[in-house]
Amino acid sequence: MLPVPSRHLHQFLSKLLLVALTTVFYLLESSAFSPPKPIPTIRHASAILISSHTSTSLQSSANALFTQVLSDVDDTLKSSGGVNVAGVNLGGIDIQYERGEIYPGVAQFMLEVSMGGSSSRVNGTLEKCPPKVAILTARAEEFKAALELKQDSKIAVALRTAAEASGVQQWGLGPVLYGSVAEWIIQNKKGLRKFTNFERLLEQDPTGTILQYVYVGDTGELDQEAGETMLREYPEVVKAIFLHKVSNEPNVPVVVPPPRLINGRPIVFFRTYVGAATAALQLGLMDIEGVQRVIYSARDMLKDVPKTSEKWVDVERDIQAANRIVFQS
């Protein structure tokens, strides 16, 4: 047997230790969740479209029967806490929320986008159940036993609870498409894996006549690269990209980039899911009542957080913006 060079052995052991430590962190994640509550209907409000070009572009793709939300996990659905080992981030960079915390309003936002901007209901119940949320992640398939998203996970419970509170049954966590150990450790491969997972998902409806997609990610780990590639390669089936602006710099104001277009499709950056909901309304991806439900959910999930917290500051800022833009008050 040939001897293993000490440098290569050191690299191998370092990566093995990183995988082991990361697995332990994921196993320690909590499963607590505070469910949202239903709210009264808001009427007599109007939205202002981001641009007529974008609006027309999105409307032209509305012939598909359903919209499926595609989502990243860490720093999109829940916070990574900015934890890192040996300089490598374990899932993301966000330090505003504790590791494992579900973001205020995220489940309601994804439900409303899944239902679309003109959902037909009978006696308050949706006539057709929208597609479940598909997860595109670089989490290692090899460590699925420790990292698997199960139906009793915080994320799955959050999605399911939001749906049931809104009178929607059988909606929540859908297919989860994983990555590999190499992509999990080597950061610059994560965006490519999420895109190739998206291509795998496209096989369920390659013509786009039944399903079209909205991708929700974050700015921490190459989700923007994945989203931009989706819009360049498949603009006919991807309606929009939403990217959660996160930061690992304490006490530094977070600047949210302006929206941009690729192939006539929007990339929207947001700080809170209230801001994301406002943009979704402007794009025709959500109705006015849906925005209000997201606002209520976000406030409800922060009810035990001091009002002086930056979490409240960000959410209230986006609520005020929604009032000005959407509710005209």
Q: Is the pLDDT of residue 124 over 60?
A: no
* Percent of the chain at pLDDT exceeding 90: 59
Q: Picking from 67-71, 175-179, 234-238, 294-298, which range would have the lowest pLDDT averaged per residue?
A: 175-179
Q: Is the dihedral of CA 204, 207, 211, 216 positive or negative?
A: positive
For the stretch 79-91, pLDDT in tens is: 999 998 877 777 8
pLDDT band at 221 (very low <50, low <70, confident <90, very high): confident
Flag whether 1 is in a domain.
no
pLDDT band at 206 (very low <50, low <70, confident <90, very high): confident
pLDDT of residue 207: 82
For the stretch 308-320, pLDDT in tens is: 999 999 999 999 9
Residues 29/275, Cβ–Cβ less than 8 Å: no
Give the mean model confidence (pLDDT) for residues 209-234.
Answer: 95
pLDDT band at 43 (very low <50, low <70, confident <90, very high): very low
Average model confidence (pLDDT) for the chain?
82
The residues with which 93 forms a beta bridge, in sequence order, are none
Give the mean model confidence (pLDDT) for residues 42-52.
Answer: 36
Q: Is the dihedral of CA 269, 270, 276, 281 positive or negative?
A: negative
pTM for the model stands at 0.82
Per-residue exposure over 94-127, b if at least 16 CB sit within 10 Å of its own CB, e if not: bbbbebbbbbbbbbbbbbbbbbbbebeeeeeebe
How many distinct structural domains can be found in the chain? 1
Flag whether 260 is in a domain.
yes
Residues 217/244, Cβ–Cβ less than 8 Å: yes
pLDDT of residue 26: 47
pLDDT band at 223 (very low <50, low <70, confident <90, very high): very high
Going by C-alpha positions, the residue among 106, 96, 32, 98 that lies closest to residue 309 is: 96
Give the mean model confidence (pLDDT) for residues 92-111.
Answer: 97
Domain residues for the domain of 229 are 6-325
pLDDT of residue 118: 52
pLDDT of residue 181: 59
Q: Is the dihedral of CA 247, 255, 291, 267 positive or negative?
A: negative
Q: Is the pLDDT of residue 192 over 60?
A: yes
Give the mean model confidence (pLDDT) for residues 12-31.
Answer: 50
pLDDT of residue 145: 56
pLDDT band at 126 (very low <50, low <70, confident <90, very high): low
The two structure tokens encoding residue 166:
């809104």
